Structure 1
Amino acid sequence: MSMADSFNDYHKWEQHLAEVKLPKWDELPKFDLYMDQVVAYVNDTLGPLDVDSVTPAMINNYVKHNIILAPVKKKYQVMQVADILLIGLLKPTYSMDTIRQGMDQVTASLFPKRAYDTFIDLMLAGLQGTLSTDAATNLNDQMMKIAVNAVLDKMKSEKLLALTKEIVKPKPVEQK
């Protein structure tokens, strides 16, 4: 594969990202979901972004460590589904403690629905390449904007690394 072919592949991948749809709060399931339904919904939603799949064990771990609220009668509500979607987006870049602290901080001054929708709007703008470079008007929005940029930068750098490895195989470092 040539450098030009790889660059075209990267450009196609960016175009694919621009077409990804992420649900706003009002588009999330309106009814409570069992674990297998949550896993399927989250993985279907985040799958086009090539992020790691969410598993029942992971979700149980989030509940056990108070990262998300426990299900009610084994059913997850819209708030928990929104949290799991956000965790799925953020966990490749941030520690679970940082994610929970950030979510707590943002929702301390914004209702969860508004905070979630703001983050999703920023994420979609980033995926489409239209995220404003202007400074945000408040600390919460700036924190979310930086988080979106960090997630996207990590995704893009990993894609570029994978494509460049297809062109030139790096030589192992020799110990002397």
Structure 2
Amino acid sequence: MNDFEQYKRWEQQMHHIKLPRWDDLPNFDLYMDQVIALINDTLGPLGVDTITPAMINNYVKHKVIMAPIKKKYQTMQLADIIMISLLKPMFQTDTVREGIDQITAGKFPKQAYDNFMDQLEMQLHRLGDTYEVSSTDNLNENLVQVAINAIVARLQSERLLQIVHRPLQEVKETK
């Protein structure tokens, strides 16, 4: 399989990604190890870096997410961790937190999270098509779209780099 076919196959895999909506997240509290498993299982198919307990503790320490109650995390924290995991490769965590706060100021967190996941999933399903930022007057809608475009572009670029970098490593190893 050549590089182009491999990339196209990856695009096709992304067309079938199903991301959890708010109601898909557990509606009961989870301990750290359960949170780690859930987040990494959820985002693993996207190739997103795995999350660790140290990362989550750091988010709590820096008030990027709310502290757990009796060492248990709730749906709101799970949604925040998923969003942060998707956005942190492109933005500083305090910038991500500000963006989440800005978007949820006008919408309920559930509605804002589901809207984000709907749009992200739609973009992943349309990989290979062209897309642009919507020309709406609503700055929050544009903010969401730009963030989603950045995530999709990052996923595409990382995959392409993996494919292009591998043959270069093979050439170096044969010398």
Fold-level match, TM-score > 0.5? yes
For structure 1, the residue ranges without an aligned partner over 5 or more in a row are 170-176
Counterpart in the other structure of 1:87 = 84
Using a 3 Å threshold, how does the CA distance of structure 1 residues 131 and 22 change in structure 2: closer, same or farther? Answer: farther
Aligned-partner SS, 2:48: coil
Paired residues in the alignment total 167
Unaligned runs of 5+ in 2: 170-175
- Equivalent residue for 2:22, pick from 17, 22, 25: 25
1:20-99 alignment runs, 5 A limit: 20-99=17-96
Q: Which residue is equivalent to 2:173?
A: none
* Map of 2:12 onto structure 1: 15
Cα offset, 1:132, TM superposition:
5.8
Shift of 1:161: 2.0
Cα distance in 2 for residues equivalent to 1:66 and 1:168: 42
8 Å Cα contact 1:125-1:131 kept in structure 2:
no
Which 4+ residue blocks in structure 1 deviate beyond 6 angstroms? none
More displaced stretch, 106-115 vs 160-169: 160-169
Shift of 1:126: 0.9
- 2:123 maps to a residue whose letter is G
How big is the shift at 1:136? 3.9
The percentage of counterpart residues that share the same residue type is 52
- Equivalent positions of 1:94-173 (< 5 A) are 94-129=91-126, 133=132, 134-136=134-136, 138-168=138-168
Q: Distance in 2 between matches of 1:71 and 1:79?
A: 11
Please state whether the residue corresponding to 2:5 is helix, strand or coil.
helix
